[in-house]
Chains A and B, each alone.
Chain A
Amino acid sequence: MKQIVVISGKGGTGKTFLTASLAAIAKNKVMADCDVDAANLHLMMDPQIKNKEEYVGSRIAVMDKDKCVKCLKCHFACRFGAIPESLEFDPFSCEGCGTCALVCPEKAIAMQDEVSGTIFTSQTAYGTFIHARLKPGGESSGKLVARVREIAQKTAEQEKKEYVLIDGSPGIGCPVIASLTGVDYAIIVVEPTLSGIHDMERVLEVVAHFKVGAGVVINKSDLNQDNTDKIRAWCVERNVPLLAELPFSKTVVESVVKARPYPELYQDLISERIKLVWDSIK
């Protein structure tokens, strides 16, 4: 079983667009959306939900005001600024560590588990699809990603599928790290902008650390030829294959608006090159 993740560093480069396109081309796979903060792939897959799983990802400190003696030990113990002197706990700063509950001499603070999201297993025309929704403001996206991946892997094993195709998230933090561990290949979608190049270099540092094979796809490649040339040269220098250059086209946005994977609507240079991406990495 081969696990392939699509990441970018920079947001908005076209990860979900590419993953949806690969979903229409690749056979014999399970799909997972690991951009749990702002999942979009389900919008392209028309999923029929078969199973929902509640995700308890975090906990929150809750104070029993009747027991509180206002000693302020919790205020001094909290390192996340969640307990001001007023003792009005800030749920958005609380990280659920439990230190306040530990130090409270009156046992006035309890740590409550929070259902912070849901994991969906669905059937689609492209195969089984796992995605998740983390509640806005939620925490522990990394752990949720790990659970999504766990279900995707188990499903692929049960269904005897050859590939797990994963839509990743932007950035380089714990959701991305959780998408990279144990994966076989990372496709990095980059745009030819200074921001895009800067971010690509940082995400590739993380990819290299996890010793994951990687290839680059340049999206909107004709936006800035100088930057596209820079990326090409960088790929040669670092020995990272350049899998495809996809020129900007309004048809890409149109396919998102129509909620259909690109190769189903358009048979053109872009869909041809996406097919070649799959051929070279499968």
Chain B
Amino acid sequence: MSLVTFGRIMIISVASGKGGTGKTTVAVNLAFSLKEKVQFFDCDVEEPNAFIFLSPEIKKTFPVEVSVPEIDYDKCNFCGKCADICYYNSLAVIKPRLGNPGKIMVFENICHDCGACSAVCPVNAITEKKRTIGKIDLASVKEIECLQGVINPKEILTPAVIRQEKRFIDKTKTVIIDAPPGTTCPVVAAVNNSDFCLLVTEPTPFGLNDLGLAVEMLKDMDIPSGVVINRSGLGNNCVHDFCEKNNIPILMEIPFERRIAELYSRGIAMVEAIPEYKEKFSDLFRKIKTIVNKKN
């Protein structure tokens, strides 16, 4: 039974707040457990790991490009408006003096590709050239279409890579998005416009602290959520208490088990080695659908 919302099937993002709680674990195992046509997005573009577990065959790779300003010195009058308007301090104007021709310094790696400088230039001296900051791999395994975005080390435009990756979303499929850790702009870019966000946490004070931040972020974004407690049993009840107090549904608990950790360390998804988990993840999906249905 498929659910159609806003002219698309469903987009489920998997986030956490705290790093290392098991987002990729849950996202991958969920993808492997569904009968639906699935499209998997690894949006942790700084440190993508899902392909380790999916082991998909890469079919095509696209560069992720952004534009940076290029100055035509025949037209430039060194008025400085470009540097003034740039919110990111990516431009510095060195006016001509004492026989030195003057220069507009462009700090390409902090340019955010917003277009303000070329828009403000009164003499049309700014055009744009493309720069590659990462790549998107398109792949597949079993019936699952998999994508990963990978930002080049030292580049900072993480949200730009995520946004370009998400352009490949196929609305006829069940989309699962593996988000980065944290609660700020990369995660916002990854979970934005999803129908549901699954929050994976660990039952410790660190897990709780960051879960609270993630819940706040999702409330602001008006995205319904539910919690998966990973490594349950290793810690205390603070997360359970928090969820109960705040009416946040706990949709699944994965107990702390050394064998699961070992499988993970070897790059093996738990549903592949422990088949009982397939039903548990299918169940998780059913619960998510119920919540999304109710909201609509």
Contact = CB atoms under 8 A, between A and B. Distances in A.
Given A93-B192, A172-B47, A136 B119 contact: no
Interface string A42-81: 0100000000000000010000000000000000010111
A196 B46 CA distance: 13
A224 B47 CA distance: 21
Interface stretch (B57-65, B97-105, B245-253, B263-271): B263-271
Contacts of A172: 46-47, 151, 153
A199 B17 CA distance: 18
SS of A interface (majority): loop
12 contacts: A10-B47, A11-B181, A12-B18, A102-B119, A136-B213, A137-B188, A141-B182, A170-B181, A172-B151, A205-B154, A250-B234, A257-B205
A16 interface: yes
Interface in B113-136: 113-116, 119-120
Interface in B165-224: 180-189, 192, 202, 204-206, 209-210, 213-214, 216-217, 220-221
Interface of B: 17-21, 24, 44, 46-47, 49, 52, 85, 87-88, 112-116, 119-120, 151, 153-154, 156, 158-159, 163, 180-189, 192, 202, 204-206, 209-210, 213-214, 216-217, 220-221, 234-236, 261-262, 264-267
A206 B214 CA distance: 27
Nearest to B217: A136
A36 B157 CA distance: 18
Interface of A: 8-13, 16, 36-40, 43, 59, 77, 79-81, 90, 92-93, 95-99, 102-103, 134, 136-142, 169-174, 177, 191-195, 198-199, 202-203, 205-206, 209, 220, 223-224, 227, 250, 253, 256-257, 259
Contacts, number: 191
Top 3 nearest A-B pairs (CB, nearest first) are A12-B20, A11-B19, A37-B182
B191 to A, nearest CB: 9
A170 B114 CA distance: 27
Nearest to B19: A11
A224 B266 contact: yes
Contacts of A253: 204, 234-235
B275 to A, nearest CB: 22
Nearest to B66: A79
Contact of B46 (A93, A171, A191): A171
Nearest to A142: B156
Contacts of A95: 112, 114, 159
